[in-house]
Amino acid sequence: MKTEIQKIKDLKINPKNPRVIKDIKYKRLLKSIKEFPEMLDLRPIMVDENNVVLGGNMRLKACRELKKKEVPTIRFTEGIHKASYLYKEKKIPYEEACEQLIIKDNASFGEWDWDVLANEWDTTFLSEWGVDVWQNMDDVVEKINEMDEWVGMPEFEEKNPPLKVTIKFENEIDRQKFCEDKGIDIGIKLRDTWTTWWPFKEQQDLKSLKYETEISSKFPIYIPSKGRAKFCKTANEFLKETDDFKIVVEPQDYDSYLEVYNEKNLMVLDKDNQGIGYSREFIKMDAENNGDEYYWTFDDDLHFLKREVVEIKDDGTEKEKNIRKNPMSVVDEVENYVQLYKNIGQVGLTHQAYAFAKKKDLDYNRQCCTAVLHKTKVNAIHRLKLKEDTDFSLQILREDLCTINFNKLLYDNPAFGKNEGGLSDEYRNNVTERQKEFISLNPEFEIKKVEGKAYATAIKPSRIWQTFKNTPQKK
């Protein structure tokens, strides 16, 4: 079939087209055509004898929105059909052949190698190119009530859900006047929203929130946190089971954290605004001084999950889901594993969005970040003002130690910049300098441009991880 250039106004969207494209994917399609119009030459729109589209309805719609005048097409005529296998061997009429083309053009006959995608490709680009890499938590998290997940917890009393009313104000003066007139005491403010109970209830006292559990950590737990005294999610997750952890805060934040947490749960840095590398090196020195073999660091906005088999189907295949877990059960599983070996430098959990792509329970010799168990006595240091997680993992591997990621033990956290507090502003304002400093120390990497994200550039993935062949050695 020969490619023809046709006027868009002469082409007709097919009313029988069964394929739809949702808003976010449609926007990606628009972006792809705008940035790479040559894709239309490589995959022309297919039409029938009457210029009704058989394949490419969404591309035609996007081209119209982009105000293109012409597009490449190929025409499937009755003459071409009569020379085809469908007609010669199966005697399928032209109209039915056109219907087959509509369906087959939209069908997916192959499947992604998710392990290769997760490990060798940048998810920023995959997402922009239309590949569904990230999963929605609503689709993958299943809360369960198994007895082993409820050890030591109080009896559950089922209650009707609270009724809610939303009241909006044009300005702060109106809001204050309303509260004064109605005698309403405001509870918690999050961003531009206030929440309260009627009749008023005091905010839950997190200092007294602690449920006993039979599991205790063998190694100290540190949670570096900045500007999130009211919503340090990781600390609140641990408080459901233990108060044996430290929230590591800057001097300027100490009083606000002390209003929410007990003094025993706070460790204060000696300086403000030094960045996460400084905080983690401070933590490492504390663990060294205390003689700890390993120590944990957790970002302050996490909850924890485990990927488990929830069903074995009739054909023998297993159905897995990411199931919400208490953090101490996750900590315990990692610690029991690490104590069997002598050369493990770091162990990390995996982000829940990658879990479905991982075919192996463990990945060796890759970057660990966000939720990590660190070996204390190592030469590696947390260097300042660069891509700190990647740099530290590379230093560990260059000491001939192993890094391990548990692909079934998971964490989840909000997207970058979605939470108040933290170090979002510092990363956003200094990202280019951090990247350049990182590359000066690790020339195997390079900077790439990123569009539509929180910052304009990122570190391009490198295959350097595959060059490390370190293996765990039993004690």
**3-state secondary structure string, 371-394?**
EEEEECCCCCCCCCCCCHHHHHHH
Residue 169: how many CB atoms within 10 A of its CB?
14
Please give the pLDDT value at position 70. Answer: 93
Containing domain of residue 86, as a range? 3-106
> Are 410 and 322 within 8 A, CB to CB?
yes
Residue 12 sits in the same domain as residue 50: yes
Residue 363 sits in the same domain as residue 317: yes
Residue 85 sits in the same domain as residue 194: no
Identify the domain boundary among 71, 106, 141.
106
Position 372 pLDDT exceeds 90 = yes
Domain count, the chain: 2
**For the segment 309-344, what is each residue's pLDDT rounded down to a tens digit?**
767 767 777 778 888 888 998 999 999 999 999 999
- Among 39-43, 220-224, 289-293, 317-321, which stretch is predicted with the lowest mean pLDDT? 317-321
Please give the pLDDT value at position 134. Answer: 43
Identify the domain boundary among 69, 90, 106.
106
Query: What pTM, to 2 d.p., does this model score?
Result: 0.57
Residue 357 sits in the same domain as residue 303: yes
> Mean pLDDT across the chain, nearest whole number?
78
Residue 152 sits in the same domain as residue 87: no
Position 154 pLDDT exceeds 50 = no
132 CB-near residues (< 8 Å, 6+ apart): none
Residue 205: which pLDDT band, with cuts at 50, 70 and 90?
Answer: low
Residue 75 sits in the same domain as residue 119: no
Percentage of the chain modeled with pLDDT above 70: 71
In whole angstroms, what is the distance from residue 12 CA to residue 54 CA?
10
Residue 163 sits in the same domain as residue 27: no
In the chain, the amino acid numbered 160 is: N
Q: Which CATH number covers residue 44?
A: 3.90.1530.10
Identify the domain boundary among 74, 106, 138.
106
Percentage of the chain modeled with pLDDT above 90: 31
Please give the pLDDT value at position 144. Answer: 38
- Among 8-22, 141-155, 216-230, 291-305, which stretch is predicted with the lowest mean pLDDT? 141-155
Residue 379 sits in the same domain as residue 457: yes
Position 347 pLDDT exceeds 70 = yes
Residue 177 sits in the same domain as residue 49: no
Distance of CA 448 to the CA centre of its chain: 20
Residue 88 sits in the same domain as residue 132: no
Position 137 pLDDT exceeds 70 = no
Which burial class, exposed, middle or buried, applies to 149 when counting CB atoms under 10 A from its CB (0-12, 13-18, 19+)? middle
**For the segment 165-188, what is each residue's pLDDT rounded down to a tens digit?**
777 777 777 777 887 787 776 654
> Tokens 């009429």 sit at which residue?
93
Position 107 pLDDT exceeds 90 = no
Cα angle 423, 425, 430 (rounded to 5 degrees) comes to 100
- In the numeric block, which tokens belong to residue 124? 């920023």
Residue 59: how many CB atoms within 10 A of its CB?
20
Please give the pLDDT value at position 139. Answer: 36
In whole angstroms, what is the distance from residue 343 CA to residue 218 CA?
18
Residue 251 sits in the same domain as residue 395: yes
- In the numeric block, which tokens belong to residue 399? 């000491």
Please give the pLDDT value at position 35. Answer: 81
Residue 377 sits in the same domain as residue 459: yes
> Are 221 and 331 within 8 A, CB to CB?
yes
